[in-house]
Amino acid sequence: MLRFSQTLFSGLERRCSFISQGLGRVLGALFLALLSLQAAAQTRPDEFVARISNEILEKVRQQRQELLNNPQKLNDFVSQLVMPHVDFERMTALAVGRSWRSATPEQQQKISLEFRNLLTRTYAGAMQSLRDQKIRLKPFRGDAADAEVVVRSEIVGSRGDPIGLDYRLFRQGESWKIYDINIAGVWLVETYRNQFAAEINARGLDGLIATLADRNRALESRKL
């Protein structure tokens, strides 16, 4: 199971360090899962993920070198194809917790934007390690007619043990939207909620915005 320290963004730092160790494949595979959620809501979410994920993986493999050579194109690729299928307002509100209700509309907008940019750059960086990974769906135990479901899967490759990767998604009109992700037993929203709470308690909502912005500038300077 992934380990997270108590300092702000240490969870993210550890995930980024996993890229060089092979575990960056987790977030890379997550990229595939997010893409797959553009299915019509009438489609069983597990069936759609199973049918589409590896097709998307092959497409990414074909463009891999081009994307690696152009960091901005890599970020744009994630922004245009992945992020539209994430409900960032809901995900951000859950991550911020009770303080979200007391935030001004301007603060909410800034937090959502910085959080979105942070995850976009994280996914883009993880894509660099994609090789032979595939998504293996576990039996779907929910009801496809429900408004909210959990799709459980694992990432398998030629090396290492399978890594659990689950998604919470909800029906929005004719499509599905993702709002939380579980990597190796750790839910993303819960992890960030703990980190955000520590920062808000120390520096307030504006402090959280500043920290997110600083982290994004640092990632941008690395030229993924």
Return all residues near 161 (Cβ < 8 A) that are at least 6 apart: none
CATH of the domain at 70: 3.10.450.710
Number of domains comprising the chain: 1
Return all residues near 162 (Cβ < 8 A) that are at least 6 apart: 136, 154, 155, 156
What tens digit of pLDDT does each residue of 62-97 get?
777 777 777 777 777 777 766 777 888 899 999 999
- The better pLDDT of the pair 42, 105 is held by 105
Q: Can you give the pTM of this predicted structure? A: 0.72
Any domain includes 58: yes
Determine the residue type at 4: F
Any domain includes 48: yes
Residue 25's DSSP bridge partners are none
Residue 163's DSSP bridge partners are 155
What share of residues in the chain are helix, strand, coil (percent, to 5)?
60, 15, 25
